[in-house]
Structure 1
Amino acid sequence: MYIEVGKRRVFASASDWPGWCRSGKDENAALEALAAAAPRYAAVPKAARIAFAPGVGFMVVERLPGDTTTEFGAPSQIAEAERKRLTKKEAGRLSALVAACWTVLDRVVEKAPPALRKGPRGGGRDRDAIVDHVLGAEAGYARMIGLRLKQPPASDAAAVRDHRNAIVAGIRGGTKVGANRRWPARYAARRIAWHAVDHAFEIEDRAE
């Protein structure tokens, strides 16, 4: 478990399960949110056909100081353990879980209405705007692992598939160290998966 500590927000991220990451106002709240999200997150390893048995309790392996991105609402800090080069087996597992996060997001989007419930101040993106946001963010994330990808139109399924396949290939390429990589593959998988799952949960919550 990685704990990323900001002044007003703390993230708890499962080190071996990209996408299983939640935040809270402090460490206890973040861990409670993570535990509560386990049944929802289970759809990801199920889609990847990877056994998932979270058990009881968490072991924190690293605590990381947060920054402005942490406060803004994203887990931005790279754990020391994430700097280790991936084995081929690890790369295959991580990329399968990232792809499964997209599968879960796609299923949620397919079931959700176009208009989502607004927040107390009338804010919040609707379904299609969230999808566009995720694709745009991923084009930016891709640059951090040495790729140059244009944001695909959400309406072009083939382009979205190619976009995702390129990112998965980039994560698999984490078995090698490249000069153009600013993010190690382990962190890239965690960040990309978190973003997809976080917005899948948002759509589910706001579609109710």
Structure 2
Amino acid sequence: MTRIYLESGLKRVFACSLEWPGWCRSGKSEEQAIENLMHYVPRYAVVAGRAGLAFEPGEPEVVERLKGGATTDFGAPEKEPVADHAAVGAEAAARDVALMRAAWQLFDETVALSPEELRKGPRGGGRDRTKMVDHVTEAERNYARQAGVRHPPYKSGADRDAMRDELAAVLGRPWQGAWDFKWTPRYVVRRVTWHVLDHLWEMEDRSA
């Protein structure tokens, strides 16, 4: 059994795993979102494997339904499931951060292997490689602010890596509920990892 939650907007539904941050896909209906989520099992297995974790998900079981908003329909999951407000022990926090770091590593490797000009979408749109990288890293910097990690715009790859290391250190600590920021630690991990993987997989698909 794989516990998932659904976040539904007016036009789009996200199906997201509770236990595996970043494993989250969307569709036009609940059924399509769940189908797309399961279709990505082999691709997420690469992430879990890089983190040193066995990934053998069972049948999906919906344990929570959330009402999404404009961000949901725009294409990003924006709601925190109830589980993200529960205490997080040291082992669970370390596991989540390992998955986030695995996503970062795989994204950087994919960038290095991808052409600058990526295949356009069916309507002729889509960012090329450098613009996609800039989008991901800037969004990540803004997400980190929700965990109290504040860095100015990057001037180098070392600046980005310093932010990532600080964010991983913050999110890798046990959490018992005393949190002064907008997003819970687990949701920060979830949002960062999802965004990195979403564009990693897009880059892979548009490089083919």
Shorter-chain TM range is over 0.9
In structure 2, the residue matched to 1:158 is 158
In structure 2, the residue matched to 1:12 is 15
- Partner SS state of residue 34, structure 2: helix
Aligned partners of 1:43, 1:179: CA distance in 2, in Å?
Answer: 32
Residue 48 of structure 2 is aligned with which of 30, 45, 48? 45
Deviation at 1:38, TM superposition (A): 0.7
Deviation at 1:108, TM superposition (A): 1.2
RMSD: 1.4
Aligned partners of 1:133, 1:72: CA distance in 2, in Å?
Answer: 16
Q: Deviations over 1:26-57 (max 9, x none)?
A: 100000000001101111111100111113x2
Number of aligned residue pairs:
205
Aligned partners of 1:178, 1:142: CA distance in 2, in Å?
Answer: 18
Stretch of structure 1 that moved more, 102-111 or 4-13: 102-111
In structure 1, the residue matched to 2:196 is 196
Matches within 5 A, 1:129-140: 129-140=131-142
In structure 2, the residue matched to 1:69 is 71
TM-score (norm. length: structure 2): 0.94
**8 A contact 1:174–1:184 mirrored in 2:** no
Aligned partners of 1:63, 1:151: CA distance in 2, in Å?
Answer: 36
In structure 2, the residue matched to 1:207 is 207
- Partner SS state of residue 40, structure 2: helix
- Partner SS state of residue 40, structure 1: helix
In structure 1, the residue matched to 2:93 is 91
- Partner SS state of residue 77, structure 1: coil
Gaps of 5+ in 1: none
> Using a 3 Å threshold, how does the CA distance of structure 1 residues 87 and 47 change in structure 2: closer, same or farther?
same
> Using a 3 Å threshold, how does the CA distance of structure 1 residues 173 and 151 change in structure 2: closer, same or farther?
farther
Stretch of structure 1 that moved more, 165-174 or 100-109: 165-174
Residue 82 of structure 2 is aligned with which of 80, 83, 91? 80
**8 A contact 2:85–2:177 mirrored in 1:** no
Deviation at 1:157, TM superposition (A): 3.2
Stretch of structure 1 that moved more, 194-203 or 139-148: 139-148
Aligned partners of 2:104, 2:7: CA distance in 1, in Å?
Answer: 24
> Using a 3 Å threshold, how does the CA distance of structure 1 residues 42 and 129 change in structure 2: closer, same or farther?
same
**8 A contact 1:10–1:30 mirrored in 2:** yes
TM-score (norm. length: structure 1): 0.94
